[in-house]
Structure 1
Amino acid sequence: MTKKILITYYSWSNKTKQVAKKLAQALDAELLELTVKNNVFSTDMYKTSEIAKTQIKTNDFPELVTKIPDISQYETILVGSPVWNGAPATPLHSFLAQIANFKGKIATFYTDAGSVGVYGEIFKTWAAPLTVVSIYQQQKDILTWAKEVIEK
């Protein structure tokens, strides 16, 4: 039986989207893009950074427009995000809260333009009580990492 995999991601600049699409194609996985309303974030990176900081500080995370499928059909969910201020993009918090009862494996990958900061620690905090089995580290090829996660 084939292991069913979902690759879900939020992408602000399309960089994470490109990585997620390549992974989905290589792994024969389903792809789910997380989206929020058009006016939530700015097209300016620095303004978006400030918006995200405020969302985290006030615990007021953006509502997802994306309809989440029945996740019980998946064994593994790979979650992709840009790194914002050393943390995952805030729509990931909203997604993780919606799938809090998922019984399979969760792993996360990211794209960044600088410091990864405490991305992994924050992702694990947001994901609790989910089983986070791996956080991508850039020293490794992302496809190799993803295959290892799936085979765990």
Structure 2
Amino acid sequence: MKALVVYYSRTGNTREVAARIADELGCDIEEIHDTQKRTGIIGFIKSGYQAARGKDTVLEPYEKDPSSYDLVIAGTPVWAGKPSVPISTYLKENRSKIKKVAFFCTYGGSGAEGTFRTMKEILGMEPIETVAITEREIKEDTCDCKIEPFVRDVEEPFREPSEPR
């Protein structure tokens, strides 16, 4: 299986989870960069507002072509119960190039279900697996108990019948 972990991270939480997933899978990873400034309290407020409204953004050019991968694992922070604007934009721009997808999100309190539902609607396909990881699980370094089963489950459809689990 050739997989790509693609993610956006405003604060670093999603970046940390993306790196762990890519390391576990031994696959490529790419961070999506927005052309809009999203730092500080103003960036936080603007980001939530744009996500709630379903707005798009202009992304910096990315290096990896998702059509070159069997699986794209898309990761995002939850913004106002939705995926981040940069990841929503990426999924819209690449929906015809993605063969299979899995989702992960990081969040502070709630909104994972709505985030995954929106990502599924954007792509028009079911993810093979999802995982939601809280900010607390990241800070307390307890998220591996969610990441390891997620990785195992995303590998399953691509595993040869003779390969051990």
What TM-score comes out, normalization by structure 1 length? 0.83
Q: Does the aligned pair in 1 maintain the 2:52–2:80 contact within 8 Å?
A: no
Aligned to 1:151: 156
Aligned to 1:36: 34
Aligned to 2:162: none
Aligned to 2:131: 136
Aligned to 1:82: 77
Structure 1 spans left out of the alignment, 5+ residues: none
Alignment pair present for 1:111 and 2:106: yes
Q: Which amino acid aligns with 1:133?
A: I
Query: How far apart are residue 137 of structure 1 and its match?
Result: 4.5
- Matches of 2:51 and 2:131, distance apart in 1: 25
Aligned to 1:121: 117
Q: Does the aligned pair in 2 maintain the 1:56–1:90 contact within 8 Å?
A: no
Q: Aligned pair count?
A: 146
Q: Give the ranges of 4+ consecutive aligned residues of structure 1 lying more than 3 Å apart after TM superposition.
A: 49-52, 137-140
Evaluate the alpha carbon distance shift between residue 71 and residue 48 of structure 1 in structure 2; reply closer, same or farther with a 3 A threshold.
same
Structure 2 spans left out of the alignment, 5+ residues: 134-142, 158-165
Q: Does the aligned pair in 1 maintain the 2:52–2:79 contact within 8 Å?
A: no
Evaluate the alpha carbon distance shift between residue 52 and residue 116 of structure 1 in structure 2; reply closer, same or farther with a 3 A threshold.
closer
Aligned to 2:160: none
Equivalent position SS for 2:128 = strand
Q: Which is richer in helix?
A: 2
Equivalent position SS for 2:127 = strand
Aligned to 2:138: none
Q: Which amino acid aligns with 1:122?
A: T
Q: Does the aligned pair in 2 maintain the 1:7–1:31 contact within 8 Å?
A: yes
Query: How far apart are residue 26 of structure 1 and its match?
Result: 1.4
- Matches of 2:57 and 2:98, distance apart in 1: 24
